[in-house]
């Protein structure tokens, strides 16, 4: 429902270039063979489009999804982990609709599950099944998992990391650079809850670290300004370092509509294509 509604929206929007990709066509250009023109589509649109075959469009994508305990936090109806699951499922559906191959890695302090990329539509059921069975793990250890995955993934493609990135930023960036060194494109989707960005609690509150169990009790307004500055610097650090290393970064708080994230993915996909 998320993806099909998104596609309908694109067809009604100014982004007509994207809608072409869904039907595995591209605009006719000088030098293209006339025999590859889709004449039925020409009859409907009065424009020339070339049929693209699987070998022309296929991209290998690996979804790396953080299932650590901190991802289970929610201040409203959906947790970061649930948001990441729905986003991953939507991206996988969208990729397979474009005949791209998609794989899945679930991790916390270790890699807990792995599905190699496939482009067959039947692969979607396996992806959904693994996503549906996610159980929040212990603490986060992103960097070792990134380095291990970078060594294991031999064929170049697109790496999409979906995480709250609550780990040492320098270590995480080192792991992402490993993928860039191996020739991969990288997209980082930074999932945070709105309260993690604002800390807008109105009364004395007990805060508990979901991974270590450490607790503090405080009046949030005492620390709100400093906290907001710290979390802003945290996000901006990732954003600036990713840009410097030619990696894409998306901040996706869990009240953000998924279609905006899907649009940013398509921008990345079109650039690679």
Round to whole Å and give the CA distance between 139 and 69.
6
> Which stretches within the chain are classed as H helix?
2-11, 16-22, 39-45, 54-57, 80-97, 123-132, 142-152, 169-181, 194-198, 220-244, 258-272
Work out the mean pLDDT of the chain and round it to a whole number.
88
In terms of Cα–Cα distance, which of 91, 253, 234, 77 is closest to 160? 91
Q: Which tens digits make up the pLDDT trace of 56-114?
A: 457 899 999 999 999 999 999 999 999 999 999 999 999 998 889 999 999 999 999 99
pLDDT level of residue 268 (50, 70, 90 thresholds): confident
Q: Which two tokens stand for residue 82?
A: 């649930």
pLDDT level of residue 195 (50, 70, 90 thresholds): very high
Q: Which tens digits make up the pLDDT trace of 224-264?
A: 999 999 999 999 999 999 999 999 999 999 998 898 888 88
57-272 is classed CATH 3.90.1420.10 = no
For helices 142-152 and 169-181, give the axis angle rounded to 10 degrees: 10
Q: Where in the chain is the domain with CATH 3.40.50.410?
A: 57-272
Question: How many Å is the Cα radius of gyration of the chain?
Answer: 20
Query: Can you tell me whether residue 259 is helix, strand or coil?
Result: helix
């Amino acid at each position: 429902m998320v993806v099909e509604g998104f596609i309908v929206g694109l067809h009604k929007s100014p982004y007509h270039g994207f809608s072409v990709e869904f039907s595995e066509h591209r605009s006719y250009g000088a030098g293209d063979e006339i025999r590859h023109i889709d004449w039925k589509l020409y009859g409907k649109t009065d424009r020339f489009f070339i049929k693209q075959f699987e070998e022309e469009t296929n991209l290998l994508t690996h979804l790396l999804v953080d299932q650590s305990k901190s991802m289970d936090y929610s201040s409203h109806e959906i947790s970061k982990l649930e948001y990441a699951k729905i986003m991953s499922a939507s991206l996988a559906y969208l990729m397979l609709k474009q005949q791209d191959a998609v794989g899945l890695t679930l991790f916390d302090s270790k890699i807990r599950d792995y599905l190699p990329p496939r482009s067959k539509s039947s692969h979607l059921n396996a992806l959904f099944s693994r996503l549906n069975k996610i159980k929040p793990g212990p603490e986060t250890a992103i960097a070792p998992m990134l380095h291990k995955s970078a060594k294991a993934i031999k064929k170049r493609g697109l790496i999409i990391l979906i995480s709250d990135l609550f780990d040492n930023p320098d270590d995480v960036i080192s792991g992402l650079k490993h993928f860039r060194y191996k020739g991969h494109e990288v997209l980082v989707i930074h999932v945070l809850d709105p309260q993690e960005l604002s800390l807008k609690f109105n009364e004395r509150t007990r805060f508990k670290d979901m991974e270590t169990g450490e607790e503090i009790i405080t009046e949030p307004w005492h620390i709100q300004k400093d906290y907001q500055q710290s979390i802003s610097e945290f996000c901006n650090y990732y954003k600036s370092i990713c840009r410097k290393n030619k990696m894409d970064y998306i901040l996706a708080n869990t009240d953000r509509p998924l279609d905006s994230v899907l649009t940013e993915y398509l921008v990345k996909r079109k650039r690679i294509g």
